């Protein structure tokens, strides 16, 4: 295998990648084989110390998504984080797209040589690779967080270990309509050249 080959088409692809809102996703989502390919690509990221400080929970059936929606709804009420009406609406949160991947930041806290910050960066890179790989396979995605990503009750319900955190809910499906571009930062506003004066 030849690594790091020039690929102008990949650059063009990255310049045209766009997240798609869950409300604009339709079936089909990726099947089991495609999910495996997408997540295998997601894990090919910079990872200082080869710690693999991330893992993924795939909810690709309506029944599993509904179970997770109930967990979110019950957690909202248990933590007094919302009204009964909000909790009822959140019961449908996980069923917004054909596939839901829950990205979990799973740091190795016993490794004192690799700072937690670097492990968090690797998890973020894995989530971005996941989105890029999904788009490359012909699907669309949206990476969301929100209240449920920080809920201890939700984390416990998912069986997260001590120190693990939800990095995001990544919804995958097919594109129902062509998305419009969103504002992007101007290059000169975010990039400087040369050592600071």
Q: Tell me, yes or no, whether 124 lies in a domain.
A: yes
pLDDT in tens, 4-36: 899 999 999 999 999 999 999 999 999 999 999
Q: Tell me, yes or no, whether 145 lies in a domain.
A: yes
For residue 81 the two structure tokens come to 């984080």
pLDDT in tens, 110-169: 888 999 999 999 999 999 999 999 999 999 999 999 999 999 999 999 999 999 999 999
Q: Tell me, yes or no, whether 153 lies in a domain.
A: yes
Number of domains in the chain: 1
Q: What share of the chain is helix, strand, coil (3-state, %, to 5)?
A: 45, 15, 40
Domain of 120 in residue numbering reads as 20-60+97-177
Give CB contacts under 8 A, 24+ apart, made by 144-149. 144/22, 144/168, 144/169, 144/170, 144/171, 145/169, 147/76, 147/81, 147/82, 148/72, 148/75, 148/90, 148/93
Q: Tell me, yes or no, whether 38 lies in a domain.
A: yes
CATH number at residue 47: 3.40.109.10
- Interaxial angle between packed helices 32-42 and 116-136, expressed in degrees from 0 to 180 and rounded to the nearest 10: 140
Q: Tell me, yes or no, whether 76 lies in a domain.
A: no
Q: Could you tell me the pTM of the whole model?
A: 0.94
């Amino acid at each position: 295998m030849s690594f790091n080959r020039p690929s102008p088409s990949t650059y063009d692809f990255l310049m045209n990648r766009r997240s798609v809102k869950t409300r604009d996703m339709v079936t089909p989502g990726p099947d089991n084989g495609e999910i495996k390919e997408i997540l295998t690509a997601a894990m090919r990221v910079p990872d200082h110390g080869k710690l693999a400080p991330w893992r993924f929970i795939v909810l690709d059936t309506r029944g599993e998504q509904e179970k997770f929606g109930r967990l979110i709804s019950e957690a909202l009420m248990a933590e007094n984080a919302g009204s009964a009406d909000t909790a009822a609406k959140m019961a449908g949160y996980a069923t917004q797209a054909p596939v839901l991947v829950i990205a979990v930041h799973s740091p190795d806290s016993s490794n004192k040589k690799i700072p937690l910050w670097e492990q968090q960066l690797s998890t973020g890179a894995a989530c971005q690779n996941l989105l890029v790989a999904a788009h490359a396979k012909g699907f669309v995605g949206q990476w969301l967080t929100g209240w449920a990503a920080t809920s201890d009750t939700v984390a416990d319900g998912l069986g997260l270990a001590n120190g693990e955190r939800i990095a995001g809910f990544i919804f995958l499906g097919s594109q129902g309509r062509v998305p419009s571009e969103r504002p992007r930062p101007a290059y000169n506003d975010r990039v400087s050249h040369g050592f600071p004066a």
